[in-house]
Amino acid sequence: MPAPLRIALAGLGTVGTGVIRLIEENSQLIGRRAGRKIEIAAVTARDRSKDRGVDLSRYRWVDDMGELATAEDVDVVVELVGGSDGPAVTLARETLSNGRALVTANKAMIAHHGAELAALAEHHSAALKFEAAVAGGIPVIQGLRDGAAANRIDRVYGILNGTCNFILSTMEREGLDFADVLADAQAKGFAEADPSFDIDGVDAAHKLSILASLSFGSQIDFGGVEIRGIRKILAADIAQAKALGYRIRLIGLAEVDGENGSATIFQRVQPCLVPMMHPLAHVIGATNAVVAEGNFSGRLLFQGAGAGDKPTASAVVADLVDIARKETGPAFSMPSAELEILPRAASAHRIGKTYLRMVVADRVGVLAEITAAMRDAGLSIESLIQTETSEDGSALIAMVTHAGPEQAINDTLNTLSTSDSLLGEPMVMHILGE
C-alpha cells in the first residue's frame, strides 16, 4: 500500500473534532476506499487545554498555525478555522503556495476568495477542495463538478440554510411567529447566539454563489446575490401560503439567461412560496436540498443533513479520499482562467407569480385602493384572502398574483407607499416556478 496521506487540522471546533472521530472510527474502511491510510499528523487550535471529548495526545500539537503550511510531514491542510478573511485565508494562501493540498469547510472564504485561491492552487499544482463548504454532508459540489459535468446548467437552487429551514418548518408545525421559534431554537442550540448570518440569508448566499460558479462556469460573484432573510415572516404568512397550496422556504436561486456572449446571471436568496407538489416543499427541519437543472440530466435533487459535526466531517473526509486517490482536478470544474464574468441581470424583468401580504387598516375602500394600484401596474390577482379584523382594527390581505414581471410588483408597492391604509411594510415573496 502506498504511503499514508498525512493531514493537519487547523481548528478543532465541532467539525474538527468530528473529522478526528470519523478518521479514527472508519479508519480501515477509508483506507480500503482511498487506497492508502489517512493519518492525522498535526492539529492546532486557539486553546490547547480545552476538553473536546477526543484524545489529542496522539497527534502533534502545533501552536503556530502558519507552521502547518510548510511542515515536512503534512500533505494536506484542513482549514476549519472559519471567517472570510484573517487567519483562515492566510493559512489557505500559504498552504497552496507551498504546493500543499487545502481542504476547507469555509464557505465565506470561498465565496470571497475562491477565484484567487483556485488560481493559486492551479499555479502550484495543489488541490483545493471545499465539499463541506456547501450543504454539509451532501456531496453536491462533486455532484455538480463531476456527476453533472456533461450538462449545461442554467438554473441551480435549493434550501441552503438548515437553521432557517428548521425555523420555518417549526413555525409551520406549531403555528408560531418567527421570534418565538428563534428564541426556542437558540435555547436548544439549533441557532447561534448571533443568528444573523443564518436568518438574514448571508450564509445561504455564500453557498449559492459557490454553486452558481460551479454550475455555470462563471466566476463567483457573491456581491451580486440579492439577499433577504426570514425575519419578517409571520405565522399568518405561513397559514395563508398553506391555504393557497404552498409552503414557505428560504430559497437560494441562481439562473443564467441568454446564450454565449450575451448571457447574464441572476442570484437571489429570499423566502419563497414552494408549491406542495415540489420536492423542496417536503424538506423538513435542518435538512438542506439542492436542485440543479441540466440540459440533458433534467432536474437533479441532492438532499441531506446541511450541517452538524458528523455530516460536515463526512464531506471533509470525502475530499481527503479524493486527494488520496489523486482524483483532483480544477476546484471549480474548469481552469479558473476560463471562468466567465457574467453581467448581473436585473430582477425587474423576471416573470413569475408573487405572494403579496399587507396588513391594512380595516376601513372602507382599502381593497379598492390596493386593487386599483395593482391594475394600474398591470398586475392581476390569481387568489386573495382577507382575514378577520384583529383587535387593533387591522386586517390582513394575502394574495397570489398571476405570472407577471417583478417590475409590476415594484410599481404597485411604490404607488401604495404613500397610502396610510397600509400598516407596516408589505411582504413580498416570489413563487418558485416548476
Site membership for a second copy, residue 25 (CB under 8 A) = yes
Site membership for a second copy, residue 13 (CB under 8 A) = no
- Chain centroid, CA 355 distance in Å: 23
Closest CB to a second copy among residues 334, 361: 334
Site string for a second copy, 216-245 (x = CB under 8 A): -x----------------------------
Beta pairing partners, 156: 254, 292
Q: Tell me how crowded residue 263 is: count the other CB atoms within 10 A of its CB.
A: 16
Site membership for a second copy, residue 98 (CB under 8 A) = no
**Residue pointed to by grid coordinates 473526509:** 317
Residue 31, all three cell numbers? 483506507
Closest CB to a second copy among residues 32, 402: 32
Site membership for a second copy, residue 90 (CB under 8 A) = no
Site membership for a second copy, residue 163 (CB under 8 A) = no
Site membership for a second copy, residue 403 (CB under 8 A) = no
Binder among 66, 147, 405, 433 for a second copy (CB under 8 A): 147
Cα–Cα distance measured from residue 52 to residue 43, given in angstroms and rounded to the nearest whole number: 13
How many alpha carbons fall within 13 Å on the CB side of residue 252? 33
Residue 135, all three cell numbers? 450543504
* Residues 132/316, Cβ–Cβ less than 8 Å: yes
Binder among 11, 16, 114, 137 for a second copy (CB under 8 A): 137
The kind and range of the H/E element at 175 are none
Cα–Cα distance measured from residue 257 to residue 370, given in angstroms and rounded to the nearest whole number: 33
* Residues 187/139, Cβ–Cβ less than 8 Å: no
Site string for a second copy, 174-213 (x = CB under 8 A): ----------------------------------------
Closest contact distance (angstroms) between CB of 334 and a second copy is 4
Site membership for a second copy, residue 277 (CB under 8 A) = yes
Closest contact distance (angstroms) between CB of 277 and a second copy is 8
Strand pairing category for 5-10 and 76-79: parallel
Closest contact distance (angstroms) between CB of 288 and a second copy is 11
Residue 259, all three cell numbers? 446564450
Site membership for a second copy, residue 29 (CB under 8 A) = yes
Site membership for a second copy, residue 279 (CB under 8 A) = yes
Closest CB to a second copy among residues 24, 85: 24
Stretch that binds a second copy, among 69-77, 89-97, 334-342, 370-378 (CB under 8 A): 334-342
Site membership for a second copy, residue 34 (CB under 8 A) = yes
Instruction: For residue 225, give the nearest of 111, 339, 309, 146 by alpha carbon.
Output: 111
Stretch that binds a second copy, among 72-80, 142-150, 341-349, 410-418 (CB under 8 A): 142-150
Stretch that binds a second copy, among 25-33, 200-208, 220-228, 425-433 (CB under 8 A): 25-33
3-state secondary structure of 52: coil
Site membership for a second copy, residue 329 (CB under 8 A) = yes
Residue 215, all three cell numbers? 454550475
Closest CB to a second copy among residues 301, 372: 301
The kind and range of the H/E element at 245 are none
Question: Which residues within the stretch 283-302 sit at the binding site for a second copy (CB under 8 A)?
Answer: 283-284, 289, 294-302
Sign of the C-alpha dihedral computed for residues 380, 385, 386 and 392 taken in this order: negative
Site membership for a second copy, residue 432 (CB under 8 A) = no
Question: Which residues within the stretch 307-326 sit at the binding site for a second copy (CB under 8 A)?
Answer: 308, 310-311, 313-315, 317-318, 320-322, 325
Binder among 2, 24, 32, 183 for a second copy (CB under 8 A): 32
* Residues 319/242, Cβ–Cβ less than 8 Å: no
For the annotated catalytic residues, the residue numbers are: 207
Instruction: For residue 97, give the nearest of 128, 72, 60 by alpha carbon.
Output: 128
Cα–Cα distance measured from residue 412 to residue 372, given in angstroms and rounded to the nearest whole number: 9
Cα–Cα distance measured from residue 329 to residue 126, given in angstroms and rounded to the nearest whole number: 9
Cα–Cα distance measured from residue 141 to residue 137, given in angstroms and rounded to the nearest whole number: 10
Report the amino acid identity of residue 37. K
3-state secondary structure of 379: coil
Site membership for a second copy, residue 263 (CB under 8 A) = no
Q: Tell me how many residues contact a second copy (CB under 8 A).
A: 62
Residues making contact with a second copy (CB under 8 A): 18, 22, 25-26, 29-30, 32-35, 131, 137-139, 142-143, 146-152, 217, 277, 279, 282-284, 289, 294-305, 308, 310-311, 313-315, 317-318, 320-322, 325, 327-330, 333-335, 338
